[in-house]
Amino acid sequence: MTAPLTPPRPTLIADAAIDLIADAGLRGLTHRAVDDASGLPAGSTSNLARTRAALLELVLVRILERETADYPAFAEGGGLSATTLPPRDLLVEVGAEALFQALTSGRRLTLARLELALEATRRPELRSVYDRLGARFTRFAADLLAASGSTDPEVDARRLIRWCDGVLFNATAGSGHWQVPMPEELRVDLDRYLAALLEEER
């Protein structure tokens, strides 16, 4: 039997850092704590990411990788070419599935990302990285909204992302944290929101 491959050291370090942030917030994130959590020798994290800013960037990139791993449409060069679904249906299906995953099996990633979003309000260099990585979702949404008939896809994409962020916050840390919306509920809500954005007759 072939032994399972050990993930690359940057992946081990980033995943350990994500777990630390999800468990203890950013106050629990230190280079030494990441070394201990990842099972790597002391100094491994600082050799890879010498500063805290570099470590936070590493974590953000890894969160994006993990959040989009099951959705090839989000990959660079993906989008419309990655599926046979009509653009509007793709937005509903992928959007609802991604939100549900972020609130269930990916909840720890979502917690870590929310922590980093708040930290980005105090660290301009982190804000720049957060916004650059997040722009991929906005571009994806804008392309599909344009193909779905939006007359202003860039603006509508920002509105859609705001709605998604609101769902994630509400069901993770807000007043709705006690009950995660099910996929069908998310599909219905997203379908209604898209109908409003696209000014469809119901």
The more confident residue out of 161 and 76 is 161
Mean pLDDT of 129-148: 93
Contact assessment for residue 74 and residue 134, using Cβ atoms and an 8 Å cutoff: no
Highest mean pLDDT among 4-18, 35-49, 71-85: 35-49
Mean pLDDT of 17-35: 96
pLDDT of residue 6: 79
User: What does residue 167 show for φ and ψ, rounded to 5 degrees?
Assistant: -60, -45
What is the chain's Cα-based Rg? 18
The pLDDT tens digits of the residues spanning 47-90 come to: 999 999 999 999 999 999 999 888 776 655 555 555 678 999 99
Contact assessment for residue 51 and residue 60, using Cβ atoms and an 8 Å cutoff: no
Task: Flag whether pLDDT at 98 surpasses 70.
Answer: yes
pLDDT of residue 76: 54
What is the crossing angle of helices 183-197 and 87-103, to 10°?
A: 140
The 3-state DSSP class for residue 50 equals coil
pLDDT of residue 101: 95
Mean pLDDT of 152-168: 96
User: Which two tokens mark 66?
Assistant: 């993990």
The more confident residue out of 168 and 85 is 168
77 φ/ψ sector (left φ>0, alpha ψ -120 to 50, else beta) = left
- Compute the distance between CA of residue 150 and CA of residue 92 in angstroms, rounded to an integer: 15
pLDDT of residue 25: 95
- CB count in 10 Å sphere of residue 142: 22
pLDDT of residue 70: 80
The pLDDT tens digits of the residues spanning 183-195 come to: 999 999 999 999 9
pLDDT of residue 71: 74
What residue type is assigned to position 3 of the chain? A
| pTM reported for the whole predicted model | 0.89
pLDDT of residue 4: 59
What residue type is assigned to position 56 of the chain? L
User: Which two tokens mark 165?
Assistant: 């962020």
Mean pLDDT of 178-183: 95
